[in-house]
Amino acid sequence: MTDTPRILLIGADGQVGWELRRTLAPVGQVIAASLSGQDGPAVDLTEPASVRRLFHETAPDAVVNAAAYTAVDKAESQPELAQAINGDALALIAELCTAPRIPVIHYSTDFVFSGVTDHPYREDDPAEPRSVYGRTKLAGEQALLESGAPALVFRTAWVYGVRGSNFLLTMLNLFRERAELRIVDDQIGTPTWSRMLAEVTAQIAYRVFHGGLDIEEVKGLYHLTGAGATSWFGFAEAIREAAGSQCRLLPIPTSEYPAPAQRPAYSVLDTGRFRRTFGLALPDWRHSLALCLADLREQRPLMTSAAKGPK
């Protein structure tokens, strides 16, 4: 492997991509590609010519794809767009990486499962997505894995962080505006910090390029989330407690919060294969939340007082 690999990071302006810019820096030269092209080359995943041009101009030694169509409900009315970004683009990336054996790291989702179970999902459990988003993400991971490219696909869930659109930031904003919130309490999963994903990805990438890890031997599908599980209501309670908010939270069933896309009722992922293969301990979701909120306080000093809610 080259001493200074060129790492093409696609989706560099997303919540995971933004964290990856920093964590991948010690591994090699990070080429930050995004739709806007604000801090690097522009790429439109709905246009194959744009993707091919990106690869031709950057000549990457590795690819990390953090881009996705993630508007879960909107995908129900935009299935072609979701498929183009989540499915077709991955098939093209696989094509461009297979022959030259370019390592690829890609993120998938718990939405590939139906959620009709009572035990953490393993990688070999049947994928039965119930939404357009889930089906298109499944199509993308299958295209990449079936291509034979040296790829690692990390399924994750309930991703949040200090930027972007996510449950944590939504709750903090609502705590400022509302005295009472109704939160779904019958969907169970694992909150996963975007920085944790980025740090784990960087550790593995470092091993591939500098630590003797043969990606051909470990390529495949892995589940990667924080440890533990909770409901959206439990997640909201933990955020409220840490933020010092006085907002009242009321648990409700999913039936009282209808949405266009069906969510998995239970989507806890078994991360045993990941931990055994890479020897990395994954922190409990509450620990990660505390670290994330501490980081957010440094960036937004008024968060705690503002989170107390309306007077």
Q: Does 133 qualify as catalytic in the annotation?
A: yes
Count H helices and E strands in the chain, helices first: 12, 12
- Residue 37 and residue 277: Cα distance in Å, rounded? 35
Q: Which of 47, 59, 44, 67 has its CA nearest to residue 8?
A: 59
- Residue 254 and residue 246: Cα distance in Å, rounded? 24
CB burial string 67-99: b at 16+ within 10 A, e below: bbbbebeebbeeeebbbbbbbbbbbebbbbbbe
C-alpha atoms less than 13 angstroms from C-alpha of 175 in its C-beta half-sphere: 26
The amino acid at 50: S
| Residue count of the chain | 311
Residue of 107, 121, 133, 222 marked active site: 133
Q: Which of 114, 245, 107 has its CA nearest to residue 181?
A: 245
Distances (CA, A) of 14 to 70, 155, 198, 287, 294: 10, 17, 12, 23, 21
- Residue 166 and residue 164: Cα distance in Å, rounded? 6
- Residue 157 and residue 195: Cα distance in Å, rounded? 13
Catalytic residues: 133
